[in-house]
């Protein structure tokens, strides 16, 4: 389609470029089509026919977020095909905390100048995030705003809608002392704390393509690593054990996010020694001379999501999650049902495994005395396809040209481990 408004174009808004961008986005959006999606691209709204099979009291769950100043790293590197993963992750990771399955996602992209190829790159990342989360990209908005953003600048936000049966909403009401906290590994910094990151590392004056041995990558690659999406492993686990609480570690780190899911008379005691802190956080603390408490008050410190589990279910939960991580180093081509069956069979063969009990025993031997200086010393020591669509088993569509476009999404590394327990207290985090 072509616009004939030359006056609008002269003022900085190229409608024809917008049409070209939509055309380039189509093959990426096609990858996300799930059962129930109605209509195509270009309408005034996105449509989804709900399948409520097995859901007695459906509750819609929504979440919205943006990427923040991590976008500045993408600008500096001129790499735009992963930042959309972050946008999706920030939304869907929030709604899965209620036990909800994401259904649809919509994005909002505001640009200074609409460059169709760049817009399509950004949407390719959004589509990748939707595939990883199992939801459909059913619409979006690209707003060209000359004079508001620079020619090479943009902002990106989105929102997700999911569904959960009312009786299965996770609200943390059953959390009690003795429950264990399982930490799920992050892929790095994720999408929070980048104003501090940019200041500490002076990224605008540093060569981001410089290889850093400590990071085993370039500085830019480490900073731009996409936020991990936890939807599928968490939903898979919810079908196996009772999860009492789920916390997405975002802005505010441990100290501000974990208390959000604690009852008034409960606290979370976190075992510092059980945490695996990625090198990028050691680098940040050293370069910025940042106190340990501040690090845990800003960043995820290698743990992107926490689950609260009854001790009786911990072994099963740990086994299931780590089997999932080992099998799912890339988004699945098999259905979750097929994978769950595989997990169950393997769990039966390995039922004698008891690593979680060992972890629990180690945790219970930890002194309850917390010394901030010792924490700092410990931490500082560690620092030194065409658009052809076919339906796949999990209900999402993929490109006819390729099964999976990775877009640099971080593979599953690290393991789920017990990182703490619930104790009596006043909605606080105790790092010991």
Pairing of strands 101-111, 136-144: parallel
Of 431, 389, 107, 157, the C-alpha closest to 275 is 431
Q: Are 372 and 293 in contact (CB under 8 A)?
A: yes
- What pLDDT does residue 269 have? 98
The CA angle 85-87-93, to the nearest 5 degrees, is 90
Q: Distance of CA 240 to CAs 52, 97, 181, 234, Å?
A: 21, 16, 17, 10
- The rounded distance, in Å, linking the Cα atoms of 141 and 18 is 10
pLDDT means over runs of 10, the chain (432 residues): 73 89 94 93 90 96 98 98 98 98 98 97 98 97 96 97 98 95 98 98 95 96 98 96 98 97 96 96 98 98 98 96 76 46 44 42 37 43 35 34 42 87 96 94
pLDDT score for 349: 38
pLDDT of residue 4: 62
Q: What is the DSSP letter of 230?
A: -
Give residue 295's pLDDT.
98
Q: Which of 278, 270, 164, 273 is nearest to 228 (CA)?
A: 278
The full set of domain ranges for the chain reads 9-431
* Helix (H) and strand (E) counts in the chain: 15, 16
Measure the CA–CA gap between 56 and 187, rounded to whole angstroms.
Answer: 36
Q: How many residues does the chain have?
A: 432
Domain 9-431: assigned CATH number: 3.90.650.10
């Amino acid at each position: 389609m072509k616009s004939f408004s030359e006056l609008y174009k002269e003022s900085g808004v190229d409608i024809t470029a917008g049409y070209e961008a939509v055309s380039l986005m189509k093959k990426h959006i096609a990858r996300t089509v799930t059962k129930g999606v109605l209509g195509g691209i270009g309408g005034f709204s996105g449509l989804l026919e709900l399948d409520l099979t097995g859901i007695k009291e459906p509750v819609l769950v929504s979440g919205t977020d943006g990427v923040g100043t991590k976008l500045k790293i993408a600008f500096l590197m001129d790499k735009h095909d992963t930042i959309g993963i972050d946008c999706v992750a920030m939304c869907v990771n929030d709604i899965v905390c209620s036990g909800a399955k994401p259904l649809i996602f919509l994005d909002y992209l505001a640009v200074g100048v609409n460059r169709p190829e760049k817009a399509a790159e950004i949407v390719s990342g959004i589509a990748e995030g939707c595939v990883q989360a199992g939801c459909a990209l059913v619409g979006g908005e690209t707003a060209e705003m000359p004079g508001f953003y620079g020619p090479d600048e943009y902002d990106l936000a989105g929102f997700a809608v999911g569904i959960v049966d009312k009786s299965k909403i996770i609200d943390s009401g059953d959390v009690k002392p003795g429950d264990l906290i399982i930490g799920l590994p992050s892929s790095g910094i994720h999408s929070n704390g980048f104003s501090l990151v940019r200041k500490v590392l002076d990224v605008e004056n540093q060569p981001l393509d410089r290889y850093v041995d400590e990071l085993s990558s370039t500085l830019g690659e480490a900073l731009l690593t996409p936020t991990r999406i936890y939807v599928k492993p968490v939903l898979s686990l919810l079908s196996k054990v009772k999860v009492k609480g789920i916390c997405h570690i975002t802005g505010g780190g441990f100290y501000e996010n974990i208390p959000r899911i604690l009852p008034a008379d409960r606290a979370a005691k976190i075992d510092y020694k059980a945490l695996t802190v990625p090198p990028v956080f050691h680098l940040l603390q050293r370069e910025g001379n940042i106190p340990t408490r501040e690090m845990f008050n800003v960043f995820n410190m290698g743990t992107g999501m926490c689950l609260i589990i009854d001790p009786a279910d911990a072994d099963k939960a740990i086994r299931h999650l780590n089997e999932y991580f080992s099998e799912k180093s890339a988004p699945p081509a098999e259905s979750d049902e097929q994978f769950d069956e595989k997990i169950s069979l393997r769990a039966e063969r390995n039922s004698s495994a008891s690593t979680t009990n060992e972890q629990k025993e180690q945790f219970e031997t930890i002194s309850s005395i917390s010394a901030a200086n010792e924490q700092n010393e410990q931490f500082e020591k560690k620092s030194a396809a065409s658009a052809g669509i076919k339906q796949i088993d999990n209900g999402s569509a993929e490109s006819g040209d390729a099964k999976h476009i990775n877009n640099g999404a971080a593979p599953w590394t690290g393991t789920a481990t017990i990182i703490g327990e619930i104790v009596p207290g006043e909605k606080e985090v105790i790092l010991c």
